[in-house]
Amino acid sequence: MAEFRYVHRPIPPPAGPGTPAGTFGPQDLARHTAPDGRSQVLLSTHSPLLAALPGARILELGGWGFREREWHELDLVTNWKSFLDTPERYLRHL
């Protein structure tokens, strides 16, 4: 018989939000929470850095409901890449 256990561990926001180094703590915690493959971590984020957790199954939520996506296909990733490629395209509206 399978054993089911619910553990809720909120991951605190990174000390340096939006920085790569600031996301390593939450990524490491999530990765070590489910090392045996019998556990799962549900992570909700607007950070493309946190969404890049190696080996993650990514579900994107939008007006269409849930859909499975690859990291590079996520709207949050493509939007950030677009901004970083040409920030003036966005900043001209300020």
> Which residues share a beta bridge with 60?
67
For residue range 26-44, what is the model confidence (pLDDT) as tens digits?
Answer: 666 666 666 666 667 777 7
Place of tokens 């939006």: 18
Size of the chain in residues: 94
For residue range 65-75, what is the model confidence (pLDDT) as tens digits?
Answer: 999 999 999 98
Q: What are 69-73's contacts with CB under 8 Å, separation 24+? A: none
Report pTM: 0.62
